[in-house]
Amino acid sequence: MEKYIRVKDLEDAALAILPKNARDYYTSGATEEYTLAENKRAFQRLRIRPKCLVGLTSYNLSTIVLGEKVSMPVGISPTAMQRMAHPDGETANVRAAQANGVIYTLSTIATSSIEEVAEAAPNAIKWFQLYIFNDRDLTRSLLARAEKAGFKAIVLTVDTPLFGLRTADIRNKFTLPKHLKLANFEGQIATKVNSTNDFSALNNVDHYLDKSLTWNEIKWLKSITKLPIVAKGILRGDDAVRAVEAGCDGILVSNHGARQLDGVPSTIEALPEIVEAVKNYNVEVYLDGGVSTGTDIYKALALGARMVFVGRPALWGLTVGGEAGVDRMLNILRKELKHTVLIAGTPSVTDITKEMVRHESTYSRL
């Protein structure tokens, strides 16, 4: 694994060995994929402003997230169907998260079940990504299973009344490989969801998504669980306020990996508005989308994120080396973030404030 020194190295290696069906599913964004590219380009338009001679004697990357200490402000995002990347799939991913002291988020649309993931890494801080389905009993069952298995938070996806148009998947007529299944569904629903007679498993799940949802559903969720709820998919300040006032404990600024609607802002562009909107509320703000370097992490923290999550980078590591590959990815980010905080003169996460970054336009006037 030592030959991989950047996340981009892992990505290049993974894309070279993934089957086309899986590769295109993991890499694709919605329609023209403008926002997919912007998720990365927007980070590049931000400039770090280092402080010099600050008297560095130590550094500390750890932080507290929803009351849990994590070793660095990086978690693993929910990504679907990880056994397409590696036979161990989600279980390898969560073991790497456990070994590195970071949060792992399991997708509802996983190829390893809630129980399998819990057994694989009993000491990991695990969150569960949830959709609210038309069948409320299905939603309630998934939530109860996650609680029983020791998951610490629910990440409610709020930007998906239906799945976005992903051109590559349409062209490929994407289907889950026949030897795999969506492992979190049980009974008759599992049979329908995993049927390959007419549609892919993803299209079958799409059929169960509830398009009539409003913020009132947060109150229903809170009536059946004591776990904190993180709203994932927020891109507007007013929606962030609605989420908090409905009872959410966290906001995950996310555009679903640019897979839902093309032309929306990159997440790092949307972050400052959301941080400002909820500054007087007791709520944590996180970010995912486009993060692949230690400097990306630093810039998000400077603009007010408590932590960032990475999805595709974990998939690249998983593809290349299973648990060892995800471990390598996390250690690359840890090393890059360490160098960034020290060279920038901000040796702890709390030292990283908004004065540490500027948009490139600040310098274009010179």
Could you give the residue numbers annotated as active site?
256
Can you give the pLDDT at residue 192? Answer: 64
Can you give the pLDDT at residue 208? Answer: 83
Name the class of domain 7-361. alpha beta
Q: Which residue, among 95, 145, 146, has the nearest Cα to 124 in the 3D structure?
A: 95
Can you give the pLDDT at residue 201? Answer: 58
Contacts of 122 (CB under 8 A, 6+ apart): 150
pLDDT (mean) for 167-175:
90
Can you give the pLDDT at residue 55? Answer: 94
Q: Token pair for residue 122? A: 């009993």
Q: Token pair for residue 213? A: 């949802």
pLDDT in tens, 4-33: 999 999 999 999 999 999 999 999 999 999
Q: Are 297 and 316 in contact (CB under 8 A)?
A: no
Residues found in the chain: 366
When pLDDT is cut at 50, 70 and 90, the band that residue 238 belongs to is very high
Instruction: For the chain, give the mean pLDDT.
Output: 94
**What proportion of the chain, given as a percentage, has pLDDT over 70?**
95
Radius of gyration of the chain (CA): 20
When pLDDT is cut at 50, 70 and 90, the band that residue 193 belongs to is low
The helix (H) or strand (E) run that includes residue 310 is strand 307-310
pLDDT in tens, 127-139: 999 999 999 999 9
Can you give the pLDDT at residue 130? Answer: 97
Can you give the pLDDT at residue 204? Answer: 66
Can you give the pLDDT at residue 364? Answer: 77
Statement: residue 205 has pLDDT above 90: no
pLDDT (mean) for 253-269:
97
Supply the pTM of this predicted model: 0.95
Helical packing angle, 294-302 and 267-277, nearest 10°: 30
Residue-range domain boundaries for the chain: 7-361
